[in-house]
Structure formats: structure tokens, C-alpha cells
A and B are shown apart, each in its own frame.
Chain A
Amino acid sequence: MALIVACLAWGLVACVLLAALGLARRWRRGRPVRVDWVAGLAAVPRRYLVDVHHVVERRPEAARMHVPAAGGLLGGSVALMLAALPALRGSRAWWAVVAVLFAAALWGAVLVRRRRRPAVPSFLSGGMFLWLPGALGAYAGGALLLALGLLAAPDGGSPLLLAPLVLTVGGAVGLLVQFARGPMRHAFAGTVWLAAHARPGRFGGGRDTALRPLDLDAARLGALAPSDFAWTALASFDACIQCGRCEQACPAFAAGQRLNPKALVQDLVAATRGGGASYSGSPAPNAPPVACRGGMDAPIIGAGAMIHPDTLWACTTCRACVEECPMMIEHVDAIVDLRRGQTLMLGQVRPGAAQALRRMRDSAEPGGRPLAARADALAALDVPVLPEGGETDILLWLGEGAFDLRHGRTLQALVRLMRLAGLRFAILGAAEPDCGDLARRLGDEATFRLLADEAIATLNARRFQRIVTADPHALHVLRNEYPALGGHWTVQHHTALLDELVTGGALRLAPRDLPPVAYHDPCYLGRYNGEVAAPRRLLDAACGTRVEMARHGLRSMCCGGGGGNPISDVDGAARIPDLRMAQAGAVGAAIVAVGCPGCTAMLEGVPAPRPEVRDIAELVLDAVVTA
């Protein structure tokens, strides 16, 4: 009997390997990428135990479920396989070990079941998940009984053990189906994805958020069909366990804007499998129905395919989903790949976005405004313009927001503060093109490169110590995305500069008696660049009381202004900035401090009554003590 049990475990593993081979063959139809397998596989334990666990433990109940369920299942099965060795097979102690492991797995099955009882929470999926605890429980329970039976009589088999054997086999078959066609494939796909991750720099507390440059001479640009994705990306979609954390973090989903990152990933999985509607979680809210037709080389986007185009343009590229994903899936990369396909290969962008892209190509500015007007807000402050070949300490990159009079006030405050601190700085004036952030997020890599090449050439023709900007989107592009194209400079956000000046004593602040201030982290400063401390230090020095919204820091919620969402005219049930301002109001904030022209415009667009919106530079200028 003991030998039968061990052989059963080996058979199960053989079937699992066969199913994994099927998965791998599907992935290999994706775009080939170079993977450092030795380093990747060696890093898997650390990536799993440290980085994945760091995300999972934000929800302790999930971690408490996963340890016995996964640990018991894997440990118990390996122990059963080892029972093929006669020495272990005849040892009572070994069967005790097996029993303990499967008892843990059984407890895990109970916890898995509890997640969806009495009702399936909206962020979790039903479908195959509903009988997963049954299969897991049957396998673990049957194996537990077998182990107990063999613990009683290691060398003999009682016919009484036939019933648990049948139970174990039934559970094993169920688990195999869950692996080959269901969510349990995440165990294999997740391991492969962790080893071959597209952004290894994210592990070990690092940060890697820059979009990868696209070879504009390639025959197919971006992703139109599943086979256009890197094969590792296809593996990452299969790694999704549908835990729904991305859905809960997504601002577009919260506003009913036709995007659900979880549904998006599952639709991509369905597309690789030829279509069908097997997904059973919450859909993309309010999205028009699609035909659910797919295939490795069939279009993904379109009413006759798997994903409605509205879904694609609702994304603000805020990376909240990526930040929350325990499988470290790169949703934003997938969305930008899809957008690149739509934009570059088909020209299918929203009318508002098409106009902005045309203006960027023609006038180097998404609003079609004269570049010389960018510095109009600073006209009265007489900021020097750095000519070609000129030299200064700090180059102030004004960004697209400078055309907006509201952000102009922020820039005036910043320039006054830099003057007070005695800094030597200059602007580019009419030589500053758009940095291309909007074009890149909309998938128009060609226009991005046009603008980036011009900006890099302009900056390389001038000498300066560092670049300072009040626009986190420009900061991200200049600091993280231009290096791949030949632009290497020290780039600082204005809050980092001001923090440096205040800490170093060049600016003295006296905290003012203000009503409660809440800081809204810009996605491109917080999640994209990890800078959350300096703005808060400044606010603590400049304002009396500071409160935190429930979502803040790296887990902050987007204002809705990124990724071309505002110009893409995506229908929704609510506006994202309205939701964000309600969150600020809920913690009693009377002032929302911002550090981004996009956030300023979005949050100030919220109808009153709402907290006042002030840039940190303005609050610091109000608190500065002169002489």
C-alpha cells in the first residue's frame, strides 16, 4: 500500500510536469527574450520569500492561508514521493511527518474555502475557485488518512485504506485540472515569472519603472496579438491568481471607467487560449460587451476580439496595480505594449489623444502652443534663459504645466524660493520642447523619440550641475527614461531641492497655524521614483498639522491625470479626482498639498465644497522667514 501511495505521488508529479510543458509550449509562441536562467533561478527563493512575501503580508489572512495550503501541499507531496525509498517507507516517523504536512494542507483547504464563504467577495473570482478547496481538501484529507493508516502499520496495507486512496486520487485529479486549466497554474507560471522577470531591478527593495525603448524598425510594433508579447509576459499573465488587489487599487476601476486590471490580465490569458469567457470575477465596469474571440495570432483589442478599446485608454499608468500585485505582474507594461500596437500600427487612438499627438509631432507641444509662451508665467521674475553653450548651476525644466496659469503660480513660488536661497539657475526658454511623456504613455513611441531626441540634444548642448523640475512626469522621463537614449543628468524634483535647502539652512521656515494639510503623493514621484519623505518633511516644517489619507505614500491613489486618461475621453460612473478629494475630506484635510501640475489641475477641477489645493512650493514660500 505504501508503495502504491508513493507511486501515486510520482504519477501526480509526472502529470503536473506534462501540464507545465503544455503551458511552456504556449508561452514559447510569444516573442523571444534573453533570460539569464542561472541567476534568475538562483534568485527565485529570495524573490519569493522576501519580495513576494512583502506584498502578501499586507493582507495577513492571505499569508496565513497560503503557508499551510501551499506548504502542506508541496511538502506533503514531496514527502510522499520520498516514500518510494524503502527506508522511509517503513518508518513510522516518516509517515508521521507526512501526516503533519497533510494536516497542514487540510487546514489550508479550510482557509481557502473560508475566503469565499458565505459569499464570494467582489474582488475575488468564483468559477473554478469554488471547488478548489474541495479538490485540495480531498487530496490532503485522503493523504492524511493514508498516512495515519500507514503510521499504524507501515509495512502492511489494510483494505480499509482503499477509501482514502480513492479520495486522494479524486483530489489529485481535481488539482491536476486546476493546474492545467485553472488557477493552480500560478504555482508554476509564478515561479517561471519570478525567475525570468522583465524588471529584475524591482527585487531586493529596488525600483525599475522606466518603459523600455521600442525598436522602431521592427516589423511589428507593440502588441496586437498575444504572440507579440514577450514570452515572459505571457507567463506573467498565467501567474495571476486573481486575488483582486489590483482591482481594489485601480483608480479607473473605482471610477467605473471600463478598466479592471485583473479582468484585463485574465482576458489576455483567455486570448492566448483562443478566447471564451471563463473569467468569473468582476468585469471591467461599464465596458461594452466584446465577442470574446482570441488566439495566439488574433487581435486582442476590439469589439470583435477579447478586450474593448475603452479599457485600454482608461489606464492612468499610475502603477497602483503593479505595486499591489503579489505576483509582481507588470500591468502597465502590458497596457503600454497594447497601446503601442494600437497607436503605431493602427492609428487607433481617441480623438483628443490624436490631436495632442499631432500637435506634439508638429509643434513639439501637446497643446499646440508656442514654445516661447511656456515661460510667460515667469516673465515678471526675469529668469535668465540658458543659451546654447551656456553654463549655470541649476537648469529649471518648466514642463507642460507651465502653460497653465495655475501651475505658473507654483513656478513663481519656486523661483522666489530659489532666489531667496541664492541659487544660480536658468531656464531653456523657447528651446524647451515637450519631454514626450504623454506621447510615450499613449503608446506613440515614434513621437516620444522625436521629442526626446530634441530635448536630449538641447540639454547636451548646455552645461549645468543638475536639472530641477516641478513636474514629476518630466522628472521621471528625464531621470529614468532618457538615459537609455543618451541623456544622463542629475534630475531633482522641486520638493527634493527645497528639502535640501531647508535642511541645509539656506531657507528658514516658521510653521504656520494652518488647518489640517494632507499630502497627495503624485504617482510619478512616489511609486515611480520612491520619493515620499522629502515633501512630508517640508510640510511638517511649513504647516501646523499634517494628516495622512488612508491611501498615501507608495500606495497612494492617482488623481486621474496620468497616462493620457484625461484626453482620451473615457466614459465612467465617477471622476477619479472627485474620489480622491472625498478621501482627503474624510480625514479632515482643509488643504491638499500637491507637487505635480497634473494633480493640481485634476484636484482643482473638483467642484466645491472641497479642500483647497496648494503646491508645496507655495506653502513653503508662505512659511519662509526672511532676514
Chain B
Amino acid sequence: MATAMRAVVLLSAGIDPVSGRPAPVGTEIRAIGLARALGARMVGLHAGPPAPVLREYAGYGLADIVCLDGGEADPVAALAGAILSGALFAEGPVELVLAGRRASGGADSGLLPYAVAERLGWPMVADVAQAQRAGAQQAGASPDLDLEQARPRGARRAARVALPCVVGVHDVAACVPDFVFAQARAACLRALPCGLDGPPPVAEAAEERAYRRRPRLIAAAAQGTGGRVLVDPAPQDAARAIIDHLRALGVLPPPAGS
């Protein structure tokens, strides 16, 4: 058995999109579940002061949460610095970074995982619904992850990525861990200095414009295989057509023996 993977889950002080109250972000909860399914050792990482809502992530099984004091000024640099510093795990460097896939509307950003991956120089895989360690590793080689990306209309796409990497977790990932109040209560929020020197980067002068609905690019969303209309088909034919369609989408595996 290989040693447990060392994973960092990026946490945001999210808000509930319905009520606007502070709440953990669903995709980040799933990120905890995904790391747990990989049997990883986890540290939660938040750029900013310890917010009470972060305790709730502990309830979902993230016992150790590190808050980077002052990190909110330049979260990308602060997070990447902490990930590379080697201070998060005594056993070795961070191998996997997990994050949600989009902002919830609080002080978070959907761009952040990409920016962190860019800063780390690691590959980024978005919209991951499932992950497992790739089997049959050669000794010495860096381990791989077998990932499944969620695509529109229920389709899944397999991907393999070498560690270390950044993974963005999709809302459909079926790995929501149980919420345990006793764990949330016992959570330890560690504050670390973010280690940034120098002034925070000055935001580039950007123009702010009111939201305007743009025309949908229908061509981009064109159906890959189109559809078929069967009028009053025999049940066997209809079932066959559905199965073929699902196979074409990759939802069902190809028939045995093919």
C-alpha cells in the first residue's frame, strides 16, 4: 500500500446562494469527499482570517484547517506559497490540490483554482466528478490519478493526470461526506502568516460594466449526435435506440466483447 496522498482542499468563506447567509460551498464539500475517497491526508487552506463558517467544513471531515493571515490581499500568491512551503505536511510536499469549480457569490472566485495552478505550474483538471489512484505504478514514477470529468447531458470523460495537480470538483460529484457536529465542534482553525512580502499587487485598472445578456451561441451547444424521433416503435427497438444513444454519449460502457 502506497503512503497516503497529501491533499490540500482550498476553502472559501462562502455564502448560500439562496439565503445569502454564510455557508460552506457545495463543491468544496464534495472536494473533501473526493479527497477522502482517495484515502488522502487532508489540510484545508483558506486565504484570509479564520471565519466561523470554516468550522462547518470540519464537520464534513476536514479536521485540520489552515487560515493564511493576510492572505486575502493576494490569495493566489498566498495559497501557492503555502502549498509550496512544505509547512502543511510533515511527511512531504503537497501532491494534490482540490477546489470548487465556481464561485458561490461570497468572497471567492471561480478563476482562483486556475490561477493557483498556473502559479504552481501544475496541470489543472476541471469539473471532476470522480477520482481514483491509477493502478500499476512503476517504482519511482510519480503516481497518476484516474479522473472522470462531468460533461453536459450526463456524459463523463475519463482523464489521467500525473501528480501533483490541481483538481476542480463538479457539483454532480456523488461524494458528499456526512456532516458530524462533533467534528465541527472540535475543529482546529490554525492561523499561519501568509508569508507575503511586499505590497499586494495593484489591481489592474478594469472597466466595470453592467451585466448584459448576450445571445446564446447555439452552434457551440450543438448536439453531437443529434436526436432521432421514433414514432410508435416496438419496445425492443426503442430500448435499443436509447442504449445506443447513451453509449454514444459515453454514459454507458461499450458493449462487452467490442
Residues of B within 8 A of A349 (CB): 178
Closest chain A CB from B185 CB (angstroms): 7
CB nearest neighbor in A for B178: A347
Whether, in the assembled complex, A236 has its beta carbon less than 8 Å from a beta carbon of chain B, the answer is: no
Residue of A nearest to B16 (CB): A362
Contact A343 B181 (CB under 8 A): yes
The minimal Cβ–Cβ distance linking B195 to chain A, given in whole angstroms, is 33
The listed residue (B18, B21, B179, B185) touching A216 by CB distance below 8 A is B185
Question: Please, which residues of chain A bring their CB within 8 A of the CB of B178?
Answer: 346-349, 354
Q: In the assembled complex, how far is the CB of residue B32 from the closest CB belonging to chain A, in whole angstroms? A: 13
Decide yes or no whether A328 CB sits under 8 A from chain B.
no
Do B179 and A362 have beta carbons less than 8 Å apart?
Answer: no
Task: Give bound CA distance, A354 to B56, whole Å.
Answer: 14
Contact of B180 among A345, A365, A369 (CB under 8 A): A345
Say yes or no: A362 contacts B180, CB within 8 Å: no
B182 at the interface (CB under 8 A from A): yes
Given contacts A361-B56, A363-B16, contact A344 B182 (CB under 8 A): yes
In the docked arrangement, what's the CA distance between A346 and B179, Å?
8
**Structural contact, B181 and A446, CB atoms closer than 8 A:** yes
Binding site for A on B (CB under 8 A): 16, 18-19, 21, 23-24, 56, 59, 176-185
A369 and B18 contacting across the interface, CB-CB below 8 Å = yes
Inter-chain contacts of A371 with B (CB < 8 A)? 19
**Interchain CA distance A120-B94 in the complex, whole Å:** 67
Q: How far is the CA of A368 from the CA of B24 in the complex (A)?
A: 14
A344 / chain B contacts, CB cutoff of 8 Å: 180-182
Chain A contacts to B: CB under 8 angstroms: 216, 221, 343-349, 354, 357-358, 361-365, 368-371, 444, 446
- CA separation between A77 and B97, bound complex, in Å? 77
Tell me, in angstroms, the Cα distance from A362 to B176 when the chains sit together: 15
Flag if B19 contacts A347 (CB, 8 Å). no
Query: Do A358 and B19 touch (CB < 8 A)?
Result: no
Q: Least Cβ distance of B147 to chain A in Å?
A: 24
| 15 A-B pairs with C-beta separation under 8 A | A345-B180, A345-B181, A346-B178, A347-B59, A347-B177, A347-B180, A349-B178, A358-B179, A362-B16, A362-B23, A363-B16, A364-B19, A365-B18, A368-B18, A370-B19
Closest to A433 in B: B19
Distance, CA A371 to CA B19, complexed state (A)? 7
Q: Shortest CB–CB separation between residue B24 and chain A, in angstroms?
A: 7
Are A345 and B182 touching (Cβ within 8 A)? Answer: yes
Q: Chain A's nearest CB lies how many Å from the CB of B16?
A: 4
Residues of B within 8 A of A348 (CB): 178
The residue that A362 contacts in the complex, of B21, B177, B183, with Cβ under 8 A, is: B21
B21 lies within 8 A of A363 (CB): yes
A383 to B176, CA, bound (A): 40
A221 to B59 CA separation, bound complex (whole angstroms): 15
- Other than A365-B19, A446-B184, give 9 A-B pairs with Cβ distance below 8 A: A344-B180, A344-B181, A345-B182, A347-B181, A354-B176, A354-B178, A358-B179, A362-B23, A370-B19
Residues of B within 8 A of A368 (CB): 18
